[in-house]
Structure 1
Amino acid sequence: MTASLQKGRPLKQLTRGLCPSQLALSTSRHARGQRRLALRVQAGEKEKVLAILYEAKDGAKNPQLLSCVENELGLREFLEEKGVEYVVTADKDGENSEMEKHLEDATIFISTPFHPGYLTKERLDKAPKLKLAITAGIGSDHVHLDSAAANGLTVAEATGSNNVSTAEQAVMQILVLVRNFVPAHEQIAEGGWDIGAVCKNAYDLEGKTVGIVGAGRIGRLVMERLKAFNIEKMVYF
């Protein structure tokens, strides 16, 4: 780890546009963080990984559902073979939570987007050994980034890990809207059967023009999947 990351960006990008005094302060903070890390490594300090995951209960029977407490991201055997202490919990809120208990001597922190453990300024101030905060997915909204930078903490995410899922979700939502699915489902759930009320606003996707706002990694995947529906035209912005 040679650079602090903020939203997945290296220190050089983070300091772009700063005035000389701000740049000196940012660089100094980064250097202090790297020195602390080097001292810990030289001292042979044992690593401790704290993972905040959700409880999947019956869903955990699916071994591919890794990001839950029960399946532990599939990391326990790997980490313990290397002598790393691995703590996994869903308890993340309040002063008496398991997260608060273990954060003070954790060196690596892992969280997920949908059950985030919040690394506030106050929590980071009480976690002097922490050197890496990872999102097992996308996003860093749960981390106080200014404090992370000041403490020389690397903040990282699995960029692109949800691209396919998000693209497929978008295609599903397009179909749900075009086919007027939700009103039809609600009508049937309430015991109704008014075909005309549903069909008057239900259409085929074939031959339509579809607009996509943002043709980046996800937008391009959406367009690739829409080809199979014989779209007349795709417009992207």
Structure 2
Amino acid sequence: MHESVRVEHQGGVMLVTLNRPEKVNALTREMLFALREAFQAAGEDDRVRSVLVTGAGRGFCAGQDLDLGGGDSDYAKVIRETYNPLILTMTHLEKPIVCAVNGVAAGAGVSLALACDLRLASETATFIQAFVNIGLIPDSGGTWFLPRIVGLGRAMELAMLGDRVDAARAHEMGLVNRVVPADQLMAEAMALAERLAAMPTRAIGLIKRAHYEGMERTLAQSLELEAVLQNEAGQTEDHREGVRAFLEKRPPRFQGR
């Protein structure tokens, strides 16, 4: 794992920290590969039942590092090799991903946060679709996630104007799920990740799959997908434990199986 991405394990939670605080965690090729490797590892490790992503220092992620001179000018090649595989790995990971946005999220940093399943923001966090400010378009899934999360009109506004959005406004438009005081962000985010880690992991993974695939299907197709995935969920030990706990009037003890 590259030193610019720190991976730690706390019980069933994998904590992934962007670790270039001196650059506000601006993304490099090495970081993008390391992030993808971390999410792939989370998918392969049964002990990991949720993932928490955050940034070291004063910001979450300033987007692509523009200070690295001599980069590849074939942007399509770069995106296909780095950003796109990372975003697909995150959305295909059938475990919940929580994002703790601890400061500025700009450009691809916004896309990275949007690829997570639940987002908590510090009250000092800000979001900037900064691409237009350097004559580019949102990438890393930005044009796909944003209109689905905040609506087409707001997505157009954010992408075309490139204005800074504070945490309160981000919460109002649905960009984040919760806003918390800065000194409580990591405690709240970890508590949420731990709660998810104690839940029926397979069911949560299937919920995630159903929602992502459902956004590209008709109602009839989604109904059929629900039937297929419900049958899969119904075969899990966690489902059987949930039923037993309900009948025995006790809290369930899910094992992620």
TM-score range, shorter chain: under 0.3
Question: Which structure has the greater CA radius of gyration?
Answer: 1
* TM-score in terms of structure 2 length: 0.25
